[in-house]
Amino acid sequence: DRTRAARGTQLCVSNTQADQANDEGYVPLPVFTLQDFQQLAVAPAASHVQPAPDTLKNMHTNVYAAAQPQTFTTTLGGYPVQVRAYPVQYTWDYGDGTTLGPTPLTGSALPDGAWDEPTDTSHVYTTTGDYTVRLTTSFYGEYNIADTGWQPVAGYNQVTSPPVALSVWRATVHNVADDCHTNPTGIGCPGANT
């Protein structure tokens, strides 16, 4: 009836489970391990890069994560198990040998039209080239076997998000006297040779 007994929770168990009872008639419940937690299909955080797929050398490139708590229902040793997964730490690999984390910081999106703004999770690339940004999210877990109460999972489930491809370019600045209407072959105009 889901009420607490003096020395534990009363459960209806199968004959096989009852055979595991100790001398006092108590059946030991299984422990939901980190390996059990890692077998669940925990959805990765969404990994965002601004700007992407192209950014500029020596400019702040913003990265941020979006992850949500998740719940699961499964079984363990014949018992029903509820599981909760919470995103708690994030690790970014910027692809150029630089990493950030693990950190509780998720970062956040820049306002529309904003760029080259330093953030807690932004990164400055010092070399042009093609890079891959990778995000790994550490999820903390809790489990509840047969409504006996929530207990922590020993360890984090680390889930990797799909990688984000990024090309880093260099910018060249030219001062010009005419616009493209006055000089259609000027620097940066559609009719220019360079």
Per-residue pLDDT tens over the stretch 50-100: 999 999 999 999 999 999 999 999 999 889 999 999 999 999 999 999 999
Mean pLDDT of the chain: 87
pLDDT of residue 38: 97
Give the separation between CA 4 and CA 143, rounded to whole angstroms. 18
pLDDT of residue 165: 97
- Which CATH superfamily includes the segment(s) 30-169? Immunoglobulins (2.60.40.10)
Q: Residues 63-91, buried b or exposed e (16+ Cβ, 10 A)?
A: bbbebeebeeeeebeebebbbbbebebbb
pLDDT of residue 127: 96
Cα dist. 106→28, 42, 93, 113, 180 in Å?
A: 40, 18, 14, 21, 43
- φ and ψ of 36, to 5 deg: -60, -45
pLDDT of residue 113: 87
